[in-house]
Amino acid sequence: MCPDCEDLARTVLLLGQLALYADVSGADNGFIEAVGPSLAASLPEPTPGTFPPGYDPTDGPDYPGGS
């Protein structure tokens, strides 16, 4: 596996583990709020062609708790 792919896989795994931790009773919300955006920001931009032309990730349904 390429080094960049390993970094991506590790970051996605950590984000998944953080999401699971967020559902644990007594989870430290301050930790989650500090670490989550940092992990997400470290993800690389999607490669061209990943999404169809004109795709807007902000266009979609409103989810509970969303802003």
Return the higher-pLDDT residue of 59 and 66: 59
pLDDT tens digits for range 48-57? 788 888 888 7
Rounded CA-CA distance 62/67 in Å is 8
CA proximity to 44, closest of 5, 18, 16, 13: 5
Whether 65 has a pLDDT exceeding 70, the answer reads no
- Angle, to 10 degrees, between the axis of helix 29-41 and the axis of helix 3-22? 160
Contact 40, 18 (CB under 8 A): no
What are the pLDDT digits (tens) for 6-38? 888 899 999 999 999 999 999 999 999 999 999
3-state secondary structure of 66: coil
The pLDDT score that the predictor gives to residue 66 is: 58
pLDDT, position 28: 96
Question: How far apart (Å, rounded) are the C-alpha atoms in residues 21 and 59?
Answer: 28
